[in-house]
Structure 1
Amino acid sequence: MLGGISIWQLLIVLGIIILIFGTKKLRNVGGDLGGAVKGFKKAMNEDEKGNDKSTDDPQARVSHDDEGTTYDVKAERKAEEQDERK
Structure 2
Amino acid sequence: MGTFSIWHWLVILVIVLVLFGGGKIPRLMGDFAKGIKAFKSGLNEDEAKADPAKTDVPAQPRVETATDTAKADAKDKTPSA
Match of 2:41 in 1: 42
The alpha carbon displacement at 1:29 in A equals: 0.8
Q: What secondary structure sits across from 1:4 in the alignment?
A: coil
Measured on the aligned residues, the alpha-carbon RMSD in Å equals 1.6
Identical residues among aligned pairs (%)? 39
Report the TM-score, using the length of structure 1 for normalisation: 0.51
Match in the other structure for 1:17: 16
Confirm or deny that 1:30 pairs with 2:29: yes
Q: Which has the higher helix share?
A: 1
Question: What letter is aligned with 1:38?
Answer: K
Q: Displacement, 1:12?
A: 1.9
Q: Distance in 2 between matches of 1:40 and 1:8?
A: 37
Larger Rg: 2
Q: Which runs of 5+ in 2 are unaligned?
A: 53-81
Aligned length: 51
C-alpha change, 1:24 and 1:49, in structure 2 (3 Å) is same
